[in-house]
Amino acid sequence: MRLNGQIALITGGATGIGRTTAIRFAKEGAKVIVTDINEAGANETAAQIKANGGEAIAFRHDVSNEDNWKQIVEDAVKAYGTIDILFNNAGIYVIKPLFETSVDEWNRMLSINVTGVFLGMKHVIPVMAKQKKGSVINASSIAGLTGAPGHTMYGASKGAVRIMTKDAAMEFATLGVRVNSIHPGYINTAMVEYASETTKQSKEQLGQAVSPMGHVGSTEDVSNLVLFLASDESSYITGAEHVIDGGATA
């Protein structure tokens, strides 16, 4: 097992990439702290892990709220002793023309997608630093690497995550903490349903439009990458951006 005895905290673990990764981590021997603003969904992910003989706890968590982070990190350490892996995965996706974007919408996007990642690193890395070992994986996007119409707000948030990852990797390398970002293209979750509705293209059309492979990716595809970055197999990789987009940005 590739994560035997490791303790992993995954935000946004109620659905999509977060849920698949939580279940995958548990199968690889990790004890998983599943958090999400959708408490019922987080509980369901933890229940699925336990039903398969794994170990998990779930918390309601708004990643933009610092008090929530403090409490969850404290409770997680009380329950499991430490945190070895942090997957800052929670995020929201809104496609909107720049002229129609309100300051409230802009601030909400940044508070979840950027402040959420900042607070995760702020409160979890000190726990990792104590044991001189940890792996942080931050969910960016290909929208953090390339431009697209209607993506100013989301792209700004994911571009920020890309560079925050590199800054943190530099800051914490000597403490044994690695920090990497992942940059998925379209992955088959609620976010692709939303993109499909907004752009009036079917999932199949979106997959053909964005990827030379002709289809969108699966949450399992992404969890394979996150697992690699979480595990010691990637022990010499930090500050790196990992694109997983079926060739969309090649």
Instruction: Name residues contacting ligand NAI, limited to 71-90 (CB under 6 A).
Output: 89-90
Distance CA 169, CA 11 (A): 20
Helix (H, G, I), strand (E, B) or coil at 248: coil
| Inter-residue long-range contacts of 192-196, CB under 8 Å, 24+ positions, other chains counted | 192/216, 194/93, 194/95, 195/93, 195/95
Count residues contacting ligand NAI (CB under 6 A)?
A: 30
Distance CA 91, CA 16 (A): 11
Tokens read off for 59 = 């918390």
Q: Is 154 a catalytic residue?
A: yes
Please check whether residue 241 is in contact with residue 145, taking contact to mean a CB–CB distance below 8 angstroms. Answer: yes
Using CB under 6 A as the binding rule, whether residue 155 contacts ligand NAI is answered as no
- Using CB under 6 A, which of 6, 15, 45, 231 touches ligand NAI? 15
**Which one of the listed residues 80, 93, 154, 186 is annotated catalytic?**
154
Which amino acid makes up residue 7? I
Binding mask 27-66 for ligand NAI (x = CB under 6 A): ---------xxx--x-------------------xxxx--
φ, ψ dihedrals at 58, nearest 5°: -125, 145
Closest CB to ligand NAI among residues 14, 32: 14
Tokens read off for 30 = 């990790």
Span interacting with ligand NAI, options 16-24, 167-175, 202-210, 227-235, rule CB under 6 A? 16-24
Instruction: Name residues contacting ligand NAI, limited to 116-135 (CB under 6 A).
Output: none
Residues labelled catalytic: 154
Q: Where on the chain is the footprint of ligand NAI (CB under 6 A)?
A: 11-12, 14-18, 36-38, 41, 61-64, 89-93, 112, 139, 141, 184, 186-187, 189-192
